[in-house]
Amino acid sequence: MSPGKHVRIGVLGCAGVARRRFLPAVAAVPELELTAVASRTPQRAAEFAAEFGGAAVTGYRNLLERDDVDAVYVPLPTGLHHDWVRQALEAGKHVLAEKPLATNLAEAAELVELARRNRLLLRENLMFLHHSQHAAVRELVAGGEIGDLRSIAAVFGHPALPDGDVRYRPELGGGCLLDVGVYPIRLAQFFEAGPWQVAGAVLRPGTRGVDVAGSALLRSANQVTAQLEFGFDHYYRNVYRLWGTEGLVTVRHAFTPGPAKRPSVTLERPDRTVELALPADDQFRNAATAFARDVLAGAGVDDTGDAQEIRRQATLVDAVRGAASPAPEAG
């Protein structure tokens, strides 16, 4: 693909996140052209194609065999990612997969190696990383506004999902760790490179065979701690705090702000409390733009840092799962 052209992208699956977030972002990114949308049912594919454009394709494999698709976006349930991302990479397509890329480190490492061999871009779509508020906060911390960073606390949880939601199905990679726990885990790495060690974790099982609440305590090589909580059996919370030797910064609506929402960031120091004036930003469009531009630049998974980030994230998710202690017996 030569520089200056656009990336012809196809979508594997007609998930809600594709309709609400990704496809509107594609329409706003000049470097992307939606050429095909695939579903297992013709009617569903036709509905998406009528709304967003592109060809309606029945069956994911049929989309991967198209010559007019350079890259694919994968919003399928987590338990299906490994198989379909693998098939996409084998078909020579660049891949942007919704978080998490895979259910465990072994699957993620296999996909990274396949992307490396085929010289393809593979990216795990944690969109919040592309919102400018987090880079602004990281610059604030690097500038010494809170002194030396001592601890990170991050929370992401929401009320129970509808009974038939795929995130309650263990065979599809359900559970809160893989759905919302990955956000605070990745956030800790954004502000402190690590390496991180899991000092303890708890995952609370629900009645459907998946975890519905969890918490983890992480410790970095620099002795920074991260206290992380997550779940989908909760009052809605979406916030993180960075606590240093000289101050505290709090970010609200941290992971899923809409493109028109102004950030809510508070800096507290002994002499003042300040609300930072940061602009609204569209993390969905930014993520799509970054992916398209890296594909156009000819980048593979090794050139962008994605390979290392994918491995580190999957390693920590596995470690949280492995460290999770069973609930004490009622006495």
Catalytic positions, written as ranges:
99
Compute the distance between CA of residue 237 and CA of residue 234 in angstroms, rounded to an integer: 8
* Sign of the dihedral defined by the CA atoms of residues 288, 289, 293, 294, in that order: negative
Name beta bridge partners: 225. 151, 219
Compute the distance between CA of residue 180 and CA of residue 213 in angstroms, rounded to an integer: 10
Which single residue is written with the structure tokens 């065999």? 65
Helix or strand (DSSP H, E) at 25: helix 23-28
- Please state, in angstroms and as integers, the Cα–Cα distance from residue 258 to each residue in 116, 197, 221, 280, 304, following that order: 34, 33, 35, 8, 26
Residue by residue, DSSP assigns 256-315 as ---TTPPPEEEEEETTEEEE-------HHHHHHHHHHHHHHTT--TTTSSHHHHHHHHHH
- Please state, in angstroms and as integers, the Cα–Cα distance from residue 14 to each residue in 17, 79, 167, 171, following that order: 8, 16, 16, 19
Phi-psi region of 231 (alpha: psi -120 to 50; beta: other; left: phi over 0): left
Which single residue is written with the structure tokens 């997969």? 97
252 by DSSP, 3-state: which?
A: strand
- Please state, in angstroms and as integers, the Cα–Cα distance from residue 159 to each residue in 154, 162, 176, 230, 319, following that order: 17, 10, 11, 11, 26
94 by DSSP, 3-state: which?
A: strand
Closest CA to 226 of 141, 128, 153, 140: 153
